[in-house]
Amino acid sequence: MTPPASPSPAAGPSKIILEQKGELTPAKSAVLPSDGSLYDEYTFEGNQGQTVVVAVESTDFDTYLAIFNSQGELLAENDDVTQQNSNSELTLTLSASGRYRVIVNAYEPPPKGRGKYNLTVRETVKN
């Protein structure tokens, strides 16, 4: 479907915070009531001022990504890296220390919105 996303050009050296292979499937994933799409949820610990890149890559489906803070507030969401790349990627600087929640979702509900994916959360150091 879409080739893996390249690291952001402004990103310098990075450290992996979370790396997860997963699969959106009716047997394992939760269902979003609003549209019937499947999603998986992950958490990571972040520190105030830390810049992170969160990326979801899949050759099986069009990915959708959302990040929430520890109060449940939506911080950012992304459907496509570019018009030609249906993977999802977000870069954000964390405003507070705490637990952050990452939602891996599909842009389309099943049967299209399912399959294998790779999730990566990494800390970046700006050049």
- 43: domain CATH number is 2.60.120.380
CB 124 within 8 A of CB 53: yes
- Tens of pLDDT, residue by residue over 35-92, are 888 999 999 999 999 999 999 999 999 999 999 999 999 999 999 888 889 999 999 9
Inside any domain, residue 95: yes
pLDDT computed for residue 18 by the predictor: 95
Residue 55: helix, strand or coil by DSSP?
Answer: strand
pLDDT computed for residue 83 by the predictor: 86
Inside any domain, residue 118: yes
The count of domains in the chain is: 1
pLDDT computed for residue 93 by the predictor: 95
**Pick from 95, 93, 87, 103: nearest CA to 42:** 103
* 82: containing domain: 11-126
- The DSSP letter of residue 114 is -
Inside any domain, residue 81: yes
Inside any domain, residue 6: no
Percentage of residues of the chain with pLDDT beyond 70: 88
Inside any domain, residue 2: no
Global pTM value: 0.83
Residues 6+ away with beta carbon under 8 Å from 62: 1, 79, 80, 86, 106, 107, 108, 112, 113
